[in-house]
Structure 1
Amino acid sequence: MTAGDDEDQATPAAAAREVARLPSPEIDRLRALARRHTTPCGSGDMVWHSWGEAQGDVPPLVLLHGGSGSWTHWVRNIEPLVVAGRQIWIPDLPGFGDSATPPEGGDADALVEPMAEGLRALFGPRPVDLVGFSFGGLTAGLALAAHPELARQLVVVGAPAMGVVAERPVRLKGWRHLPPAEQLDMHRYNLAVLMLRDAALVEGLALEVHVGNVVRDRMTRRRLARTDILARSLPQVTCPVHVIYGEADALYQGFMAELEAAYAAAVPDFRGMALVADAGHWVQFERPEVFLQALLAALADGAAGRRG
């Protein structure tokens, strides 16, 4: 779940025409550095971007974005991970960003097969290291439950659908019905209430990323994030699994101990949960340096293979 999942459900096409993209030199710069790839998806393509070079026997590192997102959810992490020696691949998940909608369905389960087919088309039988943020963490868990051979390890970042919190913890405000001049205020509100602990970060790059993504979201009727489907799927995930959350994640305020226990109960090879202090739901954006340390430590541990 990320900002946009719980907003009004009007078709976003009109809003996309009305709301001008905020200028973002940083996004433009990273896009220019990327290689663009496509794999089949429904009646169109699933679009992938990659940065860096293949590193011998080190698997590709595939990052999945959150709901109402695109590859730009990882805008502050791409270059540091390349510097750390990883080749980075990030798709726009089906129905988001530049990718076509899935062949059928409108939630995370509809993305499993297009993503699995894309991974096989790009990497053959070679398993990747897979990291999923929020809705992308849910999608990654469902994909590996169905196709455990696709990944050497999984890192889940800020994912919903663990069945820990009974009620919806955050209510977002709708924006598509508003005139363009008022929509930015709603975007700022949604970013502050769900995505970011530090309200000072709502302006600038975060707002540019958010607005550029939500107006292109064609999967606006998602509901699986409010269930326990990830917790029910993880027992079928056989690879090492680490989880990373912002300590102030709005989805699980006051429930972090219960959340860790839910992962430990569900995952056969659970390697532990890292909490990033002074960070909310969009932890990799809010505290990129600390997140990088946690992610690299998780990947190094998972690369050692299955324990026990």
Structure 2
Amino acid sequence: MDTRTGTATTPDGTRLAYRDHHAPAPDPEPIPGSRRPPLLLLHGLAGHMGEWDDMLPLLLADGHRVITYDARGHGASTRRPPDMTRASAVGDVTTLIEELSLPTPVTLLGQSLGGHTAFLTAAAHPHLVDSLILIEAGPAGPSPGLPTEIAAWLDSWPTPFTSLSSATAFLGHEAWARGLEEREDGHHPRWDRDTMLAAVADLATRAYWSEWDRVTCPTLVVRGVNGTMGEAETTRMARKTQMRTGSPSQARPQSPSLPHSPPLTRTEVIEDAGHDVHLDQPRRLHAAVRTFLAKRNTA
């Protein structure tokens, strides 16, 4: 595996730490007509790009180029950026695509808040996105109580953690613990509380169904059977279909004289998984992703 690390700078001066992973070698016998757009992976709130480490070798083995990065306000990226709106997060995706000179369109794979950013990017810049994979992420809202819930969750962290093992025990996954930074007095989060609350402020005031209606690329929506995403939300998202001519149609009844292609949005439920499907069941998630991309990449 060839991995290159770097930092991209956005127009507002925010630095985005990224890793650009290349598969060891191309498929010696590619399927005729197949294509493998680059995969850009987006983590969730208070997370970091290392969350994808379990899935990374699986995706690389499939022959994909995979880019991971720390979202603004997270990890090794700028800790206190001037803007934490949803629009700024979308701008970060376009900055990475441009600075890495990624061949477009790309595939966006995002979990939770990262998935939200992914579909907003597809809605605003459809020419840049080939397909979407959303993990426990959708357009439902508004959620006025979300900032209070997030604040209570962040305040419950007994920081600094005395050890990585104690952090793993509290946070539930070793990958979350690896996102901490070690100081003399213990292990601390690599984000600021106020910045995290600013990141979800927009979600408290509105829903994003109008943006979802503008998404025209094939999408896989994945939720954990024990996750926080409701079945009603995924059902509504899956109503989107695509005419065989390529123009989208939202929840329009099919007519015998007006045939449709398969649903534009597919859904998958992963057993024995919560909100962090990518950490709870990385291999099951990869199987779902691989099947979806295999069909998409030979379409």
Q: TM-score range by the shorter chain?
A: 0.7 to 0.9
- Report the 3-state secondary structure (helix = DSSP H, G, I; strand = E; otherwise coil) of the residue aligned with 1:117: helix
- Report the 3-state secondary structure (helix = DSSP H, G, I; strand = E; otherwise coil) of the residue aligned with 1:106: coil
- Is the contact between residue 38 and residue 102 of structure 2 (CA under 8 Å) also seen in structure 1? no
- Aligned ranges 1:114-153 → 2 under 5 Å: 114-123=92-101, 126-153=104-131
For 1:190 and 1:84, how far apart are their aligned partners in 2? 34
Question: 1:39/1:66 Cα in 2 relative to 1: closer, same or farther (>3 Å)?
Answer: same
- Is the contact between residue 187 and residue 210 of structure 1 (CA under 8 Å) also seen in structure 2? no
- Report the 3-state secondary structure (helix = DSSP H, G, I; strand = E; otherwise coil) of the residue aligned with 1:123: coil
- Report the 3-state secondary structure (helix = DSSP H, G, I; strand = E; otherwise coil) of the residue aligned with 1:49: strand
- Report the 3-state secondary structure (helix = DSSP H, G, I; strand = E; otherwise coil) of the residue aligned with 2:222: strand
Map Cα deviations across residues 195-237 of structure 1 (whole Å, 9 max, x no partner).
xxxxxxx26x234235459722243122234455443311111
- Is the contact between residue 224 and residue 269 of structure 2 (CA under 8 Å) also seen in structure 1? yes
- Is the contact between residue 102 and residue 110 of structure 1 (CA under 8 Å) also seen in structure 2? no
- Identify unmatched segments of 5+ residues in structure 2: 28-34, 182-186, 242-247, 249-262
The residue identity in structure 1 corresponding to 2:4 is R
TM-score relative to the length of structure 1: 0.71
- Counterpart among 152, 160, 165 of residue 180 in structure 1: 160
- Aligned ranges 1:28-177 → 2 under 5 Å: 34-41=3-10, 42-53=12-23, 55=26, 57-100=35-78, 104-123=82-101, 126-163=104-141, 172-175=152-155
Map Cα deviations across residues 2-55 of structure 1 (whole Å, 9 max, x no partner).
xxxxxxxxxxxxxxxxxxxxxxxxxxxx9xx63113322232532210222384
Say yes or no: does 1:300 pair with 2:294: yes
Q: 1:90: how far off? A: 0.8
Task: Point out the structure with max Rg over C-alpha.
Answer: 2
Which is worse superposed, 231-240 or 296-305?
296-305
Question: 1:181/1:112 Cα in 2 relative to 1: closer, same or farther (>3 Å)?
Answer: closer
- Is the contact between residue 61 and residue 131 of structure 1 (CA under 8 Å) also seen in structure 2? yes
Question: Which residue of structure 2 aligns with residue 280 of structure 1?
Answer: 274
- Report the 3-state secondary structure (helix = DSSP H, G, I; strand = E; otherwise coil) of the residue aligned with 2:220: strand
Question: Which residue of structure 2 aligns with residue 245 of structure 1?
Answer: 223
- Identify unmatched segments of 5+ residues in structure 1: 1-29, 192-201
Q: Which has the higher contact order (CA 8 A, sep 6+)?
A: 1
Identity of aligned residues (%): 24
Q: 1:106: how far off? A: 1.4
Say yes or no: does 1:217 pair with 2:191: yes
Map Cα deviations across residues 105-157 of structure 1 (whole Å, 9 max, x no partner).
21332111232122123235621111111111001111111111111111111
Map Cα deviations across residues 45-71 of structure 1 (whole Å, 9 max, x no partner).
322102223848421111111111121
Question: 1:88/1:184 Cα in 2 relative to 1: closer, same or farther (>3 Å)?
Answer: closer
Q: More helix per residue: 1 or 2? A: 1
The residue identity in structure 1 corresponding to 2:74 is F
- Is the contact between residue 160 and residue 225 of structure 1 (CA under 8 Å) also seen in structure 2? no
Question: 1:270/1:262 Cα in 2 relative to 1: closer, same or farther (>3 Å)?
Answer: same
For 1:72 and 1:246, how far apart are their aligned partners in 2? 20
- Is the contact between residue 132 and residue 156 of structure 1 (CA under 8 Å) also seen in structure 2? yes
For 1:60 and 1:50, how far apart are their aligned partners in 2? 10
- Aligned ranges 1:224-239 → 2 under 5 Å: 224-226=202-204, 229-239=207-217
Q: 1:246: how far off? A: 0.9
Question: 1:174/1:73 Cα in 2 relative to 1: closer, same or farther (>3 Å)?
Answer: same
Q: More strand per residue: 1 or 2? A: 2
Question: 1:277/1:170 Cα in 2 relative to 1: closer, same or farther (>3 Å)?
Answer: farther
Which is worse superposed, 119-128 or 235-244?
119-128
